Amino acid sequence: MYTTLPPTGMRDFLPREKEIREYVMREIRDEYKRSGFTEIETSFMENIGNLTGGDGGENAKLIFKIMMRGDKLKNADLSNLDNLADYGMRFDLTLPLVRFYANNRNELPSIFKALQMGPVFRAERPQKGRYRAFTQCDIDVIGDDSNLAEIEIIQTISSTLKRLSFNDFTIKINDRRILKAIVTNAGFDEEVFGEIAITLDKLDKIGVEGVKKELLSKEFSSEAIDNLLKMTDSISHKGLEGIKNDCPEGYTNIKQIMDVIQSIEDGFKIEFDFTLVRGMGYYTSTIFEITYGDLGYSIAGGGRYDKMIGKISGTDVPAVGFSIGFERIVDLLLSEDKISSDEQKIALLFSDEQPLSEVIKLAVSLRKSYAVVSLYKQKKKLGKQLSQLSKSGYNGYALFKADPTEIEIKPFEEN
């Protein structure tokens, strides 16, 4: 049965929507490049083993798997459906970057500043702000183990958001070593760190009692839970200083980053959030997210993943990355009407009686002065035609004249 709708969670884009998306992408790409990031492109598909290797967190459960084909499928173990896939669609840009770097390291600089922009795919339940195919815009620094990498990435993302007319956003920053110290010092085994951290991440949504109830339901020690909540209460009041003795390495890292960013702060805030977790299992220390207004989700996020490249290449390489939530940014720009363009788009209208060669010559001449000049045959219902052109993003129109000096560009409201 045929349908005119795209698959659930996928989208088509009208010309105006596509134009806006391309504009936002150009702005992001240009700002990234101004900070020295160089663009690469990786495959949309990855070997299934790379995607299911244990570093993707919850996203590893959302892989669009691609079945084996031909003889490969005939010889496959049919007793387990998971064995029928040999490839999958990438669910983020970090895993493909790691593979790319491990494969091309000898041809890349010792400190590689990578820029990636492209679609990723997740088989999740679609909802507002979440789609099954969406664009990510990443920057990563590979090979630098100092927090200069974090500082430069945070500064670049901040300047990009400001360029897109976002201000008053908040950068939340944490270090997973701090979170691990809190959990283990409270009396939990290190093996359950991830599970505890995910619950602790909900502290601002379900409150202290909600966190306690959820941890008790998982049959963790009530003593360890009470210790954890006492520690979190102390840190909530003391801030970063409250973790200085428990995790000096994480404390020093976050303090140095925050001190530099606060010294250059302009139109945004950076704050320590010890409950910040981030979902990916590959993060090793610094993690960050950006929130904006009263939205219930972040508009950018990332962190450091120093052990991930070593799992593929056998040699650990320090790495840190940040990704702007492109789809959410576009939706916000549209809802807040922040996109304006000074491009002049003109519609040139002509009739059948007028020589086509002269019409095209005139259009070519006008394109030297205007960004877009598009040809349309003039319809009998001119008002309706002009209304449609206006909705399509044109700034004005002109009626063909044999003498170019007589051409008058008119705004639509004059009709």
Q: What is the pLDDT of residue 56?
A: 59
78 confidence band (pLDDT: 50, 70, 90) = low
Q: In the predicted model, what is the mean pLDDT of residues 372-394?
A: 90
Residue in the block written with tokens 């606060």: 262
**Domain covering 15-335 in this structure, CATH number:** 3.30.930.10
* Least confidently predicted of 146-150, 239-243, 258-262: 239-243
Distance of CA 243 to the CA centre of its chain: 30
Give this prediction's pTM: 0.85
414 confidence band (pLDDT: 50, 70, 90) = low
- Fold annotation for 345-414: Rossmann fold (3.40.50)
pLDDT at 377 over 70: yes
Rounded Cα–Cα distance for residues 248 and 153 (Å)? 23
The encoded tokens of residue 188 equal 């939990």
Q: In the predicted model, what is the mean pLDDT of residues 337-351?
A: 81
* Interaxial angle between packed helices 176-185 and 193-200, expressed in degrees from 0 to 180 and rounded to the nearest 10: 100
Rounded Cα–Cα distance for residues 28 and 9 (Å)? 25
Listed in sequence order, the residues at least 6 apart from 204 whose beta carbon sits closer than 8 Å to its beta carbon are 275
Sign for the CA dihedral angle at 289, 292, 295, 300 comes to negative
Q: HSE, CB side, 13 Å, CA atoms: give it for residue 112.
A: 21
- Residue 69: CB atoms within 10 Å: 10
Count of all residues that appear for the chain in the document? 415
- Sketch the domain layout of the chain as residue ranges: 15-335, 345-414
Condensed to tens digits (0 to 9), the pLDDT of residues 169-198 reads 999 999 999 989 989 999 998 888 878 888
137 confidence band (pLDDT: 50, 70, 90) = very high
Rounded Cα–Cα distance for residues 20 and 332 (Å)? 12
Q: In the predicted model, what is the mean pLDDT of residues 90-106?
A: 95
CB 19 within 8 A of CB 328: no
pLDDT at 332 over 90: no
- Asked if the domains 15-335 and 345-414 are classified in one and the same CATH topology, the answer is no
Q: In the predicted model, what is the mean pLDDT of residues 92-120?
A: 96
**209-245 burial, b for 16+ CB within 10 Å, e for fewer?**
eebbebbeeeebeeebbebbbebbeebeeeebebbee
Amino acid at 29: R
40 confidence band (pLDDT: 50, 70, 90) = very high
The encoded tokens of residue 336 equal 């807040």
Rounded Cα–Cα distance for residues 206 and 54 (Å)? 28
pLDDT at 270 over 60: yes
